Amino acid sequence: MTLNVASHRSEKPAGDIRQRNEKVIIAAAEQEFAAFGFKGASMREIAKRADLPKANIHYYFKNKLGLYLAVLSDIIDLWDGSLTRMTADDDPAEVLAEYLQQKIEFSWKHPVASRIFASEIISGGPNLEGYFNEGYVEWFNGRVAVFKEWQERGKMDKEITAEHLIFLLWSSTQHYADFKFQIVSALNKEELVEEDYSAAARSLTHIILKGCGVR
């Protein structure tokens, strides 16, 4: 499931230079949006962070909203890729383990992006109305249908409510990015290291697979 950002991007041909510059711009925009939110962020400051002329930003993105939606689109693509690809013929143990590992790794390597999305949702998703109206429910119901089919085939306990399992997958993994300060405080650390995230992935995978009756 991806955001539809095409209408907010300038209609320019794709290429290596374009992809490289968009990646730099989006990375700079993440920092700006994380620091000041959508309203407080400035295209001028994003250009400074990217070390590009402001005109270059508008060459690739028509306006600030288009750039913001591109940032959110990248976040969601990274999050939901494995869920989007899963089918009822897949092994739930493999799918869930892969998803949990990827989401924990995302929390480790892209905490800023995760917090931008969390901030948008907490504020009521004022800039995501289009996203949630563009096939989101259909996408979500499609994921739920796969879980239910696994249950019917005996691959997963029928006591599980598929919708709430997905919510658990989202929240438990994003916690390590969105509430990182709480975690480092509880562990009496200055920073989380790779082994902390690996331990989190192992623990969540064990708990969720066992709780779902998946071997």
pLDDT tens for 25-82 read 999 999 999 889 888 999 999 999 999 999 999 999 989 999 998 888 888 877 877 7
pLDDT-derived band at 198 (thresholds 50, 70, 90) equals very high
What predicted TM-score, i.e. pTM, was given to this entire model? 0.81
- pLDDT score at 1: 47
Average pLDDT over residues 136-160: 95
List the chain domain ranges: 1-73, 86-215
CATH topology of domain 1-73: Arc Repressor Mutant, subunit A (1.10.10)
How distant, in Å, are the alpha carbons of 5, 13, 80, 130, 138 from that of 134? 11, 25, 16, 6, 9
CATH topology of domain 86-215: Tetracycline Repressor; domain 2 (1.10.357)
Give me the chain's average pLDDT, please. Answer: 88
